[in-house]
Structure 1
Amino acid sequence: MRVFQVEDNWSMENARIGSRPDPLPGPGEIRIKMKASALNYRDLIVPERGYGSRMKTLPLIMLSDGVGIVESLGEGVKHLRVGDRVCPLFFQSWIRGGEPNKKKLLLSLGCEMDGTMAEFMVLPEGGVALAPVHLDDLEASSLPTAAVTAWRALVTESGVKPGDKVLVQGTGGVSLFALQFAKILGAYVILISSSDDKLSKVRAMGVDETLNYRSIPEWGKRVREIAGGDGVDHIVEVGGQGTLPQSLRSIRTGGTISLIGVLAGGKMDIPLGPIVTRHVRLQGITVGNRDDFSNMAKAIAHHRLHPAIDRTFAFDEIHHALEHLSSGQHFGKITIKH
């Protein structure tokens, strides 16, 4: 089968299309014919061994997002049928719900184990979830990482409710899923970006207020004003070091900041006093489990949501897709057709 993998040495230059023997399912396993994959920011870090010694030894098949059709079943598979369309779960070690721990976060696709950029995948029956039927393959492929992360932040961990005020940063995959989920939860959503064109697009998606943070560098004060003076209830924080100071100015006393990305720097260089004295909850979010995916998929189906897809590339155009991701020009998810 054809795969896209990091070979020989850790570097993007050693990430290339190669081949492996077709896998066969064992007891309790299924074989999936992959139809599409999607990119995440982590896919720029993985080839450089950015997650350290915990990563799988080379070669490593890349990417954590995808969708495919169940093609064959191993002995003892009970809940899936040939022809089911499924998404592999990001964490193969965190199948059931509950609180995260070291063991549950041990094995993720495209990092500690082979990922979705292959013609076929063999996984345990419990390592996949049914994709929403109204989505096409490219849309469904975008769900396992970014969408589950946004759902975990807003729903599982925080319980956002009607009338809450939510601040979303940027227009990448997690951010746009957060916008969509916050709106179906009945929240008032403010979104910041450096692009007026992208801000125009999110207004068409139903965002309540937008800010260009290049035009308003001290956007935290303006966010508080928009939120009524007290600040927002929840922030989907994807910038990290470069945006946290303004996020702390934006959040209300007792509010929650979900730290999901560190696109603007990965070090903590902020005053900690306001977090303590204002009882701010700063929580890290690392995707989620199958319960998160299944609950999210039901909501997506019920509200007939469609992910925002930026561009789609062919399998052999994967390097162009990664370059496009690196440019930061995308709006929503970048997908790969198998």
Structure 2
Amino acid sequence: MRAYRIEHYGSLDGLVLRDLPQPPTPGPGQALVRMRAAALNFRELLILAGQYKAMGKDMPIPCSDGAGEVVAVGEGCSRVSVGERVILTFYSHWFGGEMPAGGDILGRGGSVDGTLCEYACVDENELVRAPDHLSFEEAATLPCAALTAWSALTAGGGLLPGQSVLVQGGGGVSVFALQLAKLFGARVLALSSSAERLERLRALGADELIDYVRHPEWHEEVLARTAGAGVDLTVEVGGGATVERSVQATRVGGRISLVGLLTGGPGLSEAFFYRGLSLNCIRVGSREQFEQMCQAIAVHRLRPVIDRVFGFDEVPLAFEQLRQGRHFGKVVISID
């Protein structure tokens, strides 16, 4: 089969398409999946740069997100059957409840081989049925960014209709957080850096738009749009450089879901404690949460936002698109 491998770290040149042995016939409780699409996340750039090297699998097949169809099953496999459209879970070991202690923390493409391959043989417990209305390309966007957004919204008691949510930017997690928050009946305030992106966020349902270039102290705008109170929940994707504004933008007793550390780890000020905020550190989510999210997506027929679909021979171009950071929504790869 054809698959991409990371053969050296530090540049796109290290990402190489190879002919690898076909996965073996599925063993007991396993399923062989013909991969049809994969989607990229920012973490893929970190893995390629070698930042996970000391903790993860050496020279892995990259990419955490992927969808395909079951083409063979092993003895005793009961969760899926041949012909079903499935999505691989981000974690190969977290099926429900709290994350198991001492287990994999890096997920697919970090600790185990990822999805940039034509076939994957996995335990049946690592698979979730894809919502019927989604294409393979759309379904492939869900394991990391969408589930992270779902977990960010539901952590610490969940989101109620009429509550307010602040989302930051037009990346995968933020766009999914906006779309999913609207399913909950929430009022969504959205930050972005351009009028074009803000209009796209409006089209997805954002109720309030804030240009953080025009308003670098954007927390003041959030307070102005919420009658001085702040939002009930902030989905914080930036990290150290933005978390203090998120603290100021969140109401007394509100919640911050910390998703990303793009600008380093946060240092919490006294204001965090004075305002009585709760901080939820999001680690994507379990298979059980994934299945709950997929049910909601199916009922509401939500469609993920895809910036561009690349061919399997164009994977380096897809990584470059991701690296430039000008995409809105997800960068996807079709595996023909």
Matches within 5 A, 1:238-253: 238-253=237-252
Distance (Å, rounded) in 1 between the aligned partners of 2:265 and 2:172: 23
The residue identity in structure 1 corresponding to 2:29 is G
Distance (Å, rounded) in 2 between the aligned partners of 1:203 and 1:53: 42
| CA-to-aligned-CA distance 1:285-333 (integer Å, 9 cap, x gap) | 1100111110000000100100000001011111111111111110000
| CA-to-aligned-CA distance 1:208-231 (integer Å, 9 cap, x gap) | 000000000111011011112111
Deviation at 1:105, TM superposition (A): 4.0
Deviation at 1:277, TM superposition (A): 1.6
Distance (Å, rounded) in 1 between the aligned partners of 2:198 and 2:10: 35
The aligned residue for residue 265 of structure 2 is: 267
| CA-to-aligned-CA distance 1:173-212 (integer Å, 9 cap, x gap) | 1111100111110111000011210101111111100000
The aligned residue for residue 132 of structure 1 is: 131
SS class of match (2:240): helix
The number of residue pairs the alignment matches comes to 333
Q: Is the 1:93–1:103 contact (alpha carbons within 8 Å) kept by the matching residues of 2?
A: no
SS class of match (1:53): coil
Per the alignment, do residues 154 and 99 of structure 1 end up closer, same or farther by CA in structure 2, a change over 3 Å counting? same
Distance (Å, rounded) in 2 between the aligned partners of 1:282 and 1:92: 26
SS class of match (1:307): coil
| CA-to-aligned-CA distance 1:75-121 (integer Å, 9 cap, x gap) | 111121100000000000102x1122433544611000100000000
Distance (Å, rounded) in 1 between the aligned partners of 2:286 and 2:265: 27
Distance (Å, rounded) in 2 between the aligned partners of 1:320 and 1:28: 37
| CA-to-aligned-CA distance 1:249-308 (integer Å, 9 cap, x gap) | 101111111111123x1133x452111121111221110011111000000010010000
TM value normalised by structure 1:
0.96
SS class of match (2:299): helix
The aligned residue for residue 291 of structure 1 is: 288
Distance (Å, rounded) in 2 between the aligned partners of 1:319 and 1:255: 41
2:15 aligned with 1:18 = no
After TM superposition, where is structure 1 displaced by more than 2 Å over at least 4 residues in a row? 9-13, 100-107
SS class of match (1:326): helix
The residue identity in structure 1 corresponding to 2:167 is V
Distance (Å, rounded) in 2 between the aligned partners of 1:36 and 1:154: 26
Distance (Å, rounded) in 2 between the aligned partners of 1:63 and 1:313: 14
The aligned residue for residue 53 of structure 1 is: 54
Alignment gaps of 5+ in structure 1: none
TM value normalised by structure 2:
0.96
Deviation at 1:156, TM superposition (A): 4.4
Per the alignment, do residues 208 and 171 of structure 1 end up closer, same or farther by CA in structure 2, a change over 3 Å counting? same
Matches within 5 A, 1:127-166: 127-166=126-165
The residue identity in structure 2 corresponding to 1:303 is H
Deviation at 1:153, TM superposition (A): 1.0
Per the alignment, do residues 325 and 251 of structure 1 end up closer, same or farther by CA in structure 2, a change over 3 Å counting? same
| CA-to-aligned-CA distance 1:43-93 (integer Å, 9 cap, x gap) | 0010122124220022x1000001000000111111211000000000001
Q: Is the 1:93–1:106 contact (alpha carbons within 8 Å) kept by the matching residues of 2?
A: no
2:167 aligned with 1:193 = no
Matches within 5 A, 1:1-338: 1-7=1-7, 9-12=8-11, 13-24=13-24, 25-58=26-59, 60-95=60-95, 97-106=96-105, 108-263=107-262, 265-268=263-266, 270=267, 272-338=269-335
The residue identity in structure 2 corresponding to 1:290 is R
Distance (Å, rounded) in 1 between the aligned partners of 2:69 and 2:243: 41
Distance (Å, rounded) in 1 between the aligned partners of 2:318 and 2:2: 17
Distance (Å, rounded) in 2 between the aligned partners of 1:106 and 1:216: 37
The residue identity in structure 1 corresponding to 2:265 is K
SS class of match (1:61): coil
Distance (Å, rounded) in 2 between the aligned partners of 1:3 and 1:309: 23
Per the alignment, do residues 104 and 226 of structure 1 end up closer, same or farther by CA in structure 2, a change over 3 Å counting? farther
Q: CA-atom RMSD, angstroms?
A: 1.3
SS class of match (2:152): helix
| CA-to-aligned-CA distance 1:3-32 (integer Å, 9 cap, x gap) | 01102x333322111121000211110000
Per the alignment, do residues 233 and 108 of structure 1 end up closer, same or farther by CA in structure 2, a change over 3 Å counting? same
Distance (Å, rounded) in 1 between the aligned partners of 2:178 and 2:102: 31
SS class of match (1:161): coil
Per the alignment, do residues 317 and 158 of structure 1 end up closer, same or farther by CA in structure 2, a change over 3 Å counting? farther
